[in-house]
Amino acid sequence: MTIINAALCSFGMSGRVFHAPFINLHQGFNLIGAWERSKHLIQEHYPTAKSYANYEDLLKDTSVELVIVNTPTYSHYDYAKQALLAGKHVVVEKAFTTTVAEAEELKAIAQEKGLVINVFQNRRWDSDFLTVKSVVESEKLGKINEAEFRFDRFNLALSPKAHKEVPGPGAGIMKDLGPHIIDQALYLFGMPNALFADIRITRPASEVDDCFELLFYYPTMRVRLKAGYIVKELLPSYIVHGSNGSFVKNRADLQEVKLLLNEKPNIATWCSEPESEEGILHIDVNGASSRYTIPTLKGNYYHFYEGVYQSIANNASPIVSADDGINVMKIIEASVTSSKEKRVVELA
């Protein structure tokens, strides 16, 4: 079995919670180390891992084949570009970059050098979204007419992480929570023909966008995406209406909760939602109304890294490609234009 040596650009929350456990779990990867600017924590969890004092040392390490760019969004383009120019494959967290032009340049560099880019869109493997996708693809709902995805929170306080709250190219909810549900919508329904966006600042002390509503126009359906920090009573995160009926599902994936508690993932039994969170399918069947719950599929971010492995070791298509990342950036840029100019923006 080909073994791929991987290194992280950071061992903060994202490195410890979302990346390292699944890289370590996969037999095809060796977690060789992480760039740690001040604290040196990776050895507490992975004793054989290295701690790089700076990014240049990480890139000069010829044993490193894959670099995970899990730093603040504004730095993604620069760090990913350096890694590609050093001959490394990359995984880049969302948002892929801060502009479409940056994303397209990274794709071009990777193609020129024969390297692989995967964009980290782990929410494709959330238990709730996997279940929604399964119901839609089962065609039990009939022809889809409308869908709404939400990612809401209630928190008036600003994040202590300055890169999220200080105005800049990577700050704001559109590039934080936005890429999750934008990617899910595009993954399930494809690129829309046009969109309308309302992006706002709602928290009293906020200087960056913290609330948005997007409307995607498709030939025969509409998709609404919403996210905000002033939603105390949470609504269903997934609502899909079709010609046969409706499916409603709460956001209830437990992977992040378990990972924050340092629980280690596995392949077989990770990670089930409680039965109380099962989604409701309400449809007409042979002229009779039928309403029942749908068992929730198991989520597992391991499948992302299995896809990364196959794309590097066996030349499979990237599990979340640079094109996927570019499309999300196209939606974000068009949404900013739409909100600013208060108009529908056509998409090529």
Q: Are the C-beta atoms of residues 191 and 347 closer than 8 Å to each other? A: yes
Q: Rounded to whole angstroms, how far apart are CA atoms 172 and 148? A: 21
pLDDT of 287: 86
What pLDDT does 39 receive?
A: 79
pLDDT tier at 344, thresholds 50, 70, 90? very high
* The predicted structure's pLDDT at residue 92: 98
Q: What pLDDT was estimated at residue 115? A: 98
Task: Quote the tokens at residue 49.
Answer: 């891992």
pLDDT at 238: 98
Torsion sign, CA atoms 74, 78, 81, 87: negative
Q: Are 306 and 26 in contact (CB under 8 A)?
A: yes
DSSP letter string, 279-297? EEEEEEETTEEEEEEEPPP
Residue type, 298: K
Looking at the predicted structure, is the pLDDT value of residue 58 above 90?
Answer: yes
4-122+304-317 against 123-300+331-346: fold identical: no
Residue 77 contacts residue 106 (beta carbons within 8 Å): yes
Residues facing 216 on adjacent strands: 195, 223
Task: Give the pTM.
Answer: 0.96
Q: Is 90 exceeded by the pLDDT of residue 231?
A: yes
- Percent of the chain exceeding pLDDT 70 equals 100
Domain 4-122+304-317 is of which CATH architecture?
Answer: 3-Layer(aba) Sandwich (3.40)
Cα–Cα distance, 195 to 225 (Å, whole number): 11
Residues 25-35, mean pLDDT to the nearest whole number: 98
Q: Are 210 and 194 in contact (CB under 8 A)?
A: no
**Lowest-confidence pick of 2-11, 90-99, 153-162, 248-257:** 153-162
pLDDT of 318 higher than 90: yes
Pick from 251, 324, 312, 254: which is nearest to 23 by CA?
312
More confidently predicted of 126 and 1:
126
- What residue spans define the domains of the chain? 4-122+304-317, 123-300+331-346
* Predicted local distance difference test score (pLDDT) of residue 224: 98
**Mean per-residue pLDDT, 275-298:** 95
pLDDT at 83 over 90: yes
pLDDT at 286 over 90: no
Helices (H), the chain: 13-14, 20-25, 42-45, 55-60, 76-85, 100-113, 127-138, 162-165, 178-189, 255-260, 302-313, 322-341
For residue 348, what pLDDT is reported? Answer: 81
Q: 153-202: per-residue pLDDT in tens? A: 999 888 888 888 888 899 999 999 999 999 999 999 999 999 999 999 99
Please give the pLDDT value at position 40. Answer: 83
Helix ranges restricted to H, 124-254:
127-138, 162-165, 178-189
Strand order in the sheet with 211-217: 288-294, 279-285, 245-249, 238-242, 144-152, 222-228, 211-217, 194-200, 345-346
Q: What is the pLDDT of residue 200?
A: 97
pLDDT exceeds 90 at position 37: no
Q: For 123-300+331-346, CATH number?
A: 3.30.360.10
What percent of the chain shows pLDDT beyond 90?
91
Residue 63's pLDDT is what? 97
- Sheet with 4-8, edge to edge strand ranges: 50-52, 29-35, 4-8, 66-69, 89-93, 117-120
Query: What's the mean pLDDT when you consider all of the chain?
Result: 96
